Amino acid sequence: MAVFVQSAGGHGEEDDLNCTINVVPLVDIMLVMLIIFLVTIPVIVKVVPVNLPNARNIATETKPENIVVAVTSDEDVYWNNAPVSYVDLHGRFVAALIRASKTGTPLPEVHIRADRNVRFEAVGRAILAAQQAGVPKVGFITEPRNE
């Protein structure tokens, strides 16, 4: 351990300031905080042991009132197998929702079948049209994985 000793003999000399940072208190505080965190984290994070089920994609049946929108790799859009433009898509969604509310039937679900190689922008436009029309449920139809 080193000690700084200053001479007391100079009458006109001013005391030099000690401009070094004392890091010992900082290190002590950081070590105490590290110990506190290491002790409290296992107490805070509690996981309830449960056996989670093995999930498999269950094939859904397309009901007649559901709307199937297909988007091909060429970004062509089909409404229940009939070609339609993106501009017409929003109007058809609104018309289907109005028709369902007038007849008292449940609101239709929209199932989107998109080609694997289509750009996401084309699928996004179909989702946006459904969202702007107020469709409550939009889902995607996929192929089951061969396992």
Distance CA 45, CA 118 (A): 43
Phi, psi of 50 (to 5 degrees): -135, 155
Give me the pLDDT at residue 49, please.
55
Give me the pLDDT at residue 45, please.
60
Q: How many domains does the chain have?
A: 1
Cβ–Cβ < 8 Å for 139, 110: yes
Judge whether 1 lies within some domain. no
Q: What is the token pair recorded at 76?
A: 């062509």
Judge whether 54 lies within some domain. no
pLDDT block averages, 10 residues each, the chain of length 147 = 58 69 89 89 61 56 76 88 86 87 84 86 91 87 64
Cβ–Cβ < 8 Å for 96, 67: yes
Judge whether 38 lies within some domain. no
Give me the pLDDT at residue 30, please.
94
Give me the pLDDT at residue 61, please.
64
Instruction: Tell me the pTM.
Output: 0.56
Judge whether 132 lies within some domain. yes
